[in-house]
Amino acid sequence: MKVLVVGANGQIGRHLVNLLHESNEHQVRAMVRKEAQKASFEEMGVETVLASLEGSVADIAGAATGCDAVVFSAGSGGHTGPDMTLLIDLDGAVKTIEAAENLGIKRFIMVSALQAHNRENWNNKIRPYYVAKHYADRILMQSDLTYTIVRPGGLLNETAKGKISVGESLDRTTITREDVARVIFESINEKNTFNTSFDVVNGDAPISDALKNL
C-alpha cells in the first residue's frame, strides 16, 4: 500500500516514515507544511508533499491522491493554545477524513490519546486537546472508512521496547513514540485492528501478538 503520513515531521510521524520507507511491503508519502521539512525528507529519498491542515479539503485531497491509506499523526503541539488545537487536532483531522472519503481511500489510521473516548478520565490540564481528539475520533467512526484509532499513553523518547498492552480502557502510563509508530505500521494490514479503537501502552506482549489478540 502507498501510505500518506499526515504530520510526518512530528516525532511519531518521523519514526513511521522511516519504517514505511525501509519496508518491502509499503510505500510512503510524507505530508508536511514547510519547505525546509520537505527538503529534509527528500534528502532521505522519501516522496514528500506540501500541504496545510489549515487549508481546504481539496488541498489535502491533492496531497493524498494516489495513496491507498492515510495515517493522521499530526497535532498542534503543546506550545499552542486551544484555538490551534481546534483547527489542527479537530478540524484538520476531519478535513483529512473528508479528503480520504472523497478520493475513495478506505484505510485510515488515527493517532488519538489514551482514554480520549472516556470523558471521566481526561487530563484537565489539556482538556481542549482531549475534546478535539474525542470528536475527531467519533467522526471517523461514523464515516465509511476502514478505521483504526490508536490511543497511546504518555509519550516517551526512549528506545522502542517492542512490547505493549492494548485494551479498551487502560491505566494512565507510558509508551515510547517509536513503539507507537510500530503499532501503526503493524496495524495497516492487521484485520483485527479494522474498525477498532484501543488504548496502548508499553507492556508484556510483542506488538504483532497484542494486535492479533484484540
All 3 cell numbers of residue 112? 488519538
All 3 cell numbers of residue 94? 476531519
Q: How would you class 157 by CB atoms within 10 Å of its CB: exposed for 0-12, middle for 13-18, buried for 19 or more?
A: exposed
| SS3 assignment, position 173 | coil
Question: Is 129 one of the catalytic residues?
Answer: yes
* Catalytic member of 129, 130, 135, 147: 129
All 3 cell numbers of residue 84? 490551534
| SS3 assignment, position 138 | helix
User: Can you give the length of the chain in residues?
Assistant: 214
Residue 199 · residue 180 · CB < 8 Å = no
Residue 151 · residue 113 · CB < 8 Å = yes
Q: So which residues are the catalytic ones? A: 129
